[in-house]
Amino acid sequence: MERKTQIKIIEAIEQVPSVKTILETARETKLKLCFEGDFQQQRERIGLELKNELPGFQVSVHTIQPEINICKLISNAEIEANELFFEQCAKDYRALAERLILMLSTKLGIKINNSFPLISFNELKNSKKQIGKLAAWRYNLHGYHCGFEHSSTGQLIEVPLVFGLEFGDLDPYFFTRYIKSTPQYQPLPVCIYEDYADGVRIIETMLSLGKYERITSNINNHFGVAVTDREKIAIHIYEPDPDDFTPSRFSIRRFLGLK
């Protein structure tokens, strides 16, 4: 989904659109304010003011170019009107994620650690098996996830590996990319333009509606979100056995494959 861009040249304060005008901007339009002359030095101050006055918008102040980009995000009303859709998407995400990671473990001959799946896949990182094919899918192990892309449909999904056997954690960016790339959801009942920012609003609103809930992780002080209507799975914080490591050299980030 692509927005059309409306460009406004700003050389004086009176040329900056009012908050009322911006609020009336359609979601499918990105407003680009291009600052010229001496006035371009004011863009950071103006951008900060607009961020404070436009909570339902994404206001991006370019760090190099003298411009501010303003986009209206998906609204609470739009999300609430489609809460059943977003609930089903989360259920589908969870089911597909579990199916793919189990298929991959079988293909690679890996026994998944039920308490902390990331351990089971860490040994594959930095090896030829870190990236590969699984039936019609391509996979890539990275960080806390294993990403999958369908070779013909382009469907994308990232399977979390740090929530025990709960594979339905919803990252805002990954979740919206999954929704937008899933053929069976097309055309979407509501447009999603900003993968991360719209994803954050979807998840926060669904949390407030009780359709999603927060979940703990195997990593201390790390949390996730999953659909509420699901079979609950116990998730425990992973505690490395100190007898297995030399304290002076042990690094949890290195052990988790993040360094």
pLDDT at 206: 98
What per-residue confidence (pLDDT) applies to 119? 93
pLDDT of residue 253: 56
Q: Do both 62 and 84 map to the same domain?
A: no
**3-class secondary-structure state, position 226:** strand
Number of folded domains that form the chain:
2
Average pLDDT over residues 227-231: 98
Do residues 85 and 186 share a domain? yes
Residue 157's contacts (CB-CB under 8 Å, 6 or more residues apart) are: 93, 96, 97, 100, 147, 148, 174, 178
Degrees to nearest 5, angle at CA 224 with 82 and 215: 95
- Nearest partner of 159 among 220, 204, 93, judged by Cα: 93
Q: Please answer whether residues 259 and 126 qualify as being in contact, where contact means their C-beta atoms are separated by less than 8 angstroms.
A: no
Do 109 and 8 lie in one domain? The reply is no
Helix (H, G, I), strand (E, B) or coil at 231: coil
Specify the pLDDT at position 248.
41
Question: Which pLDDT belongs to residue 214?
Answer: 98
Question: Are 60 and 173 contained in the same domain?
Answer: no
Mean pLDDT for the chain overall: 93
* Inside any domain, residue 238: yes
Residue 101 lies in a domain: yes
Question: Based on the domain organization, do 198 and 100 belong to the same domain?
Answer: yes
Indicate the residue among 72, 101, 126 that finishes a domain: 72
Domain-located, residue 235:
yes
| pLDDT at residue 244, as a whole number | 43
Last residue of a domain, one of 48, 72, 96: 72
CA angle 197, 117, 181 (to 5 degrees): 35
Domain annotation covers residue 258: no
**138 shares a domain with 40:** no
The pLDDT value given to residue 240: 76
Of 38, 56, 72, the one marking the end of a domain is 72
Same domain for 41 and 97: no
Q: Within this chain, do residues 144 and 209 fall inside the same structural domain, yes or no?
A: yes
Q: What single-letter DSSP state applies at residue 163?
A: B
Q: pLDDT band at residue 35, thresholds of 50, 70 and 90?
A: very high
Domain that holds residue 236: 78-253
Cα dihedral sign for 217, 156, 84, 191? positive
What CA–CA distance (Å, rounded) separates 250 from 129? Answer: 25
Residues 71-98 pLDDT 10s: 999 999 999 999 999 999 999 999 999 9
pLDDT at 200 over 70: yes
229 lies in the same domain as 212: yes
Residue 62 lies in a domain: yes
In the predicted structure, residue 258 carries a pLDDT above the cut 80: no
Does residue 194 sit within a domain?
yes
Is residue 55 located within the same domain as residue 111? no
Q: Which pLDDT score is estimated for 69?
A: 97
243 has a pLDDT exceeding 60: no
Condensed to tens digits (0 to 9), the pLDDT of residues 118-170 reads 999 998 988 999 999 999 999 999 999 999 999 999 999 999 999 999 999 99
pLDDT at 41: 84
My answer on whether 150 and 236 are in the same domain is yes
Specify whether 243 is located in the same domain as 190: yes
In a domain, 259, yes or no: no
